[in-house]
Copies of this chain bind each other. A is one copy, B any other.
Amino acid sequence: MRITSSLEYGMRLMAAIAKADGDAPLSAEKLAREENIPLDYTNQILWKLKSAGVISSRRGSSGGYVLARPPHEITLNRIVIALDGSIFEDVCSKYADAPRECHHQSGCSLSPLWRRLGALLTEFFSSTTLEDLIRGEPATARVEFMPPGRPLPMR
């Protein structure tokens, strides 16, 4: 699994805009330069973020982008969905031959696995806000992942 460059860039842009929250709008040109992202690509990404409602813009000279809400009200899942379309693609429906029916074979051992993974990722991103991000808090938040009580072999 990997992070797309759109998402990496978009997160950086959001972090930069969040850090300047309250100050004058940040122009795309300045953001692109400071984050070392191609300008046209930056524009494209900013447009997606704007469409998703997480930032707003001001045109004209001295225009630029600002947060649409305070940082603690913007959860990262919004950003992920804005840029990647979803947090976790539905595997089950992708391999279904008929709509609304799971065609995973092997008695469909897999769909519970993928559903749980999707839930985990969704939880991860929607539990973290932009404010957490710029404070570096995500590193300290603990995850308790509970498998059945048993030693974990063959790591």
A residues at B contact (CB < 8 Å)? 1-3, 8, 11-12, 15-16, 19, 34-36, 69, 72-78, 84, 87-89, 91, 95, 103-107, 109-110, 112-117, 119-121, 123-124, 126-129, 132-134, 136-139, 141-148, 150, 152-155
User: CA A46 – CA B148 in complex, angstroms?
Assistant: 28
A19 CB, nearest partner CB in chain B, Å: 7
Q: Are A154 and B78 in contact (CB under 8 A)?
A: yes
Q: Are A12 and B73 in contact (CB under 8 A)?
A: no
- Top 9 A-B pairs ranked by shortest CB distance? A112-B139, A144-B144, A127-B147, A2-B89, A15-B106, A15-B109, A113-B138, A142-B146, A123-B145
Q: Are A1 and B138 in contact (CB under 8 A)?
A: no
Least CB separation from A35: chain B residue? B105
Q: Are B95 and A8 in contact (CB under 8 A)?
A: yes
Q: Are A128 and B147 in contact (CB under 8 A)?
A: yes
Least CB separation from A109: chain B residue? B15
B residues near A109, Cβ cutoff 8 Å: 12, 15, 133-134, 136
Max count, chain B CB within 10 A of own CB: residue among A19, A75, A76, A138: A138
